[in-house]
Amino acid sequence: MASVYEARDTGLDRAVAVKLLGENLAGDEELRKRFLREARLAARLSHPNVVNVFDAGEHDGRPYIVMELVDGDSLAERGRVPPDEARGLALQAARGLAHAHDAGLVHRDIKPGNLLLRLEGTLKIADFGIARAAEATALTQAGTVLGTAAYLAPEQALGEEVTPAADVYSLGAVLYELLTGRPPFEFDSLADLAEQQRRMAVTPVRELAPETPRALEDLVMRCLARNPSYRPTAEELVRELEPPAPEPPTERMARPRAQRRTLWLVLAGLVALAAVFLTVIALTTGGSGSPKPQPPSSGRRSGPRPRATTRRSPRAARRARRAPRAVRCRRARRERAAGARRRAARPARGSSSLGRARS
């Protein structure tokens, strides 16, 4: 169908792979146009899990594609692998398919031979540019179909409309083979394959590989569903294949020193406020109580005598406050006597003035 050669890009000084369409297909004008159109579409993809397409063209009437050279083998040489390794390989392929489906491309020929594995472990999806263009012709060639039909979706084998769900089915068939060492269906002809797919005569994964987790087996069987609407999308496949993130251990977080200091200040303020509140309550309660009982009076007047009610000048009042008690008493007596004399003298002066006025 096509031949692949290792070549050298002299302009960029790098190793590349050149895929040249077979001579028996190069004469089909419609096929050549579709081949080049799909190759140009594939050149728009840029993803770690997709083989990069650098260029496309024709040489001596034969279309070719220049693509990234992958140093490694395909999954066709891997055989059966442990479940964890199979999950990791399928996860990388699902990521590449999700990127292609977002760009509007359907591979249509996912199989172990088109999944290339680098030596460091990175998986690359190849042949995005040739899968669609060769589909119509592949079904007419018995040898080619029997080599890849084990990974074809039922609707694809029947010639019906092919959607991104067909790539998910094919990847599920590849994952089934990685886990069990054999494809989902063993058949002798396309009619036999179609009948087995119709009856869904698929041996459960855990019967052939008991070490496979049940969740992984369920995912594979959903990918192989006959109805395309029952299959997960490539994005959903990525989410289910990704290992769960480990839950971080619970650790006690140390309280910052500033927060501790603030807490102590708040507590001290509350204590001080409570003390003031209790003091105010105590004082209020003591002042409003009943007065203490006084001892009975003996008839004798005790305590200082009441001061005279005569009016004093401010200076005299100050001197009186500064003078001793005895001096204050003498002064008070003198002031009372002087006041009495002044009161006694006022009527006499009034009567004399009245007599003079009459005379």
- pLDDT tens digit string along 8-30? 988 888 999 998 887 777 777 87
Give the pLDDT score at 141: 47
Tokens found for residue 319: 């001197």
149 within 8 A of 193, measured Cβ to Cβ: yes
Q: How far apart are CA 349 and CA 58, in angstroms?
A: 154
Residues present in the chain in total: 359
- pLDDT tens digit string along 281-318? 878 776 554 555 555 555 455 555 555 555 667 776 66
Active site residue 109: yes
- pLDDT (mean) for 236-248: 83
Query: 56 φ, ψ to 5°?
Result: -150, 150
Task: Grade residue 35 by pLDDT with cuts at 50, 70 and 90.
Answer: confident
Q: Looking at the whole model, is its pTM more than 0.95?
A: no
Alpha helices in the chain (DSSP H): 23-26, 29-42, 83-102, 131-138, 142-148, 154-157, 164-180, 190-199, 205-208, 214-223, 234-241, 257-287, 314-322, 325-358
Half-sphere exposure of 59 toward its Cβ, with a 13 Å CA cutoff?
10
Quick one: CATH architecture of 71-241?
Orthogonal Bundle (1.10)
Ordered by start, the domain boundaries in the chain are: 71-241
- pLDDT tens digit string along 118-150? 999 999 999 876 666 555 444 444 444 434 778
Q: Would the pLDDT of 87 be above 50?
A: yes
Catalytic residue among 9, 55, 109, 192: 109
Closest-CA residue to 130 (of 234, 61, 190, 56): 56
Q: How many angstroms separate the Cα of 257 from the Cα of each of 247, 251, 252, 260, 266? A: 29, 18, 15, 5, 14
